[in-house]
Structure 1
Amino acid sequence: MKMKNQPAEENVGLVTKSTSTNIAHVDPRLNFPLQFKKNKKRLFILICFFTISVAMLSYAGLSPTTAASHLLSTPLQLFDGILRHGRQDEQKSVKEILERVAMPKSKTVIITALNAAWAKKGTMIDIFLESLKNGQGTLTLLHHLLIVSVDKIAYRRCLTIHPHCLFISTPGVDFSGEQLLLSEDYIKLMWRRIRFLQTVLQMNYTFLFTDADVLWLRNPLTLLEADPEADFQIACDQYNGNPSDKHNHPNAGFTYVRPNERTVRFYGYWYKERTRGARMADQEVLNAIKSEDEFARIGLKMKFLDTRYIGGFCAMRSTDMTKAITMHANCCKGLKAKLADLRMILEKWKAWQLVHRKATMISASRGDQTRPSQNNSAVAMDPRFPTPFACPRSWQ
Structure 2
Amino acid sequence: MLPYFREHFGNPSSNSHAYGWEAEAAVRQAREILAEAIAATPEEIVFTSGATEANNLAIKGVAEAYFQKGRHIITLATEHNAVIDPSEYLRSLGFEVTFLPVQIDGLIDLEKLEQAFRPDTILVSVMAANNEIGVLQPLAEIGKMCRDRQVLFHTDAAQAIGKIPLDVQAMQIDLMSLTAHKVHGPKGIGALYVRRRNPRVQLAPQLHGGGQERGMRSGTLYTPQIVGFGQAVAIALAERETEAKRQIQLRDRLWQKLSQLDGVYLNGHPSQRLPGNLNISVEGVDGTALHLGLQPVVAVSSGAACSSAKTAPSHVLLALGRLEKLAYASIRFGIGRFNTTEEIDRVAEHVVATISSLRRQKQLSAIGDR
Q: TM-score, normalised by structure 2?
A: 0.29
Higher helix share: 1
Higher relative contact order (CA 8 A, sep 6+): 2
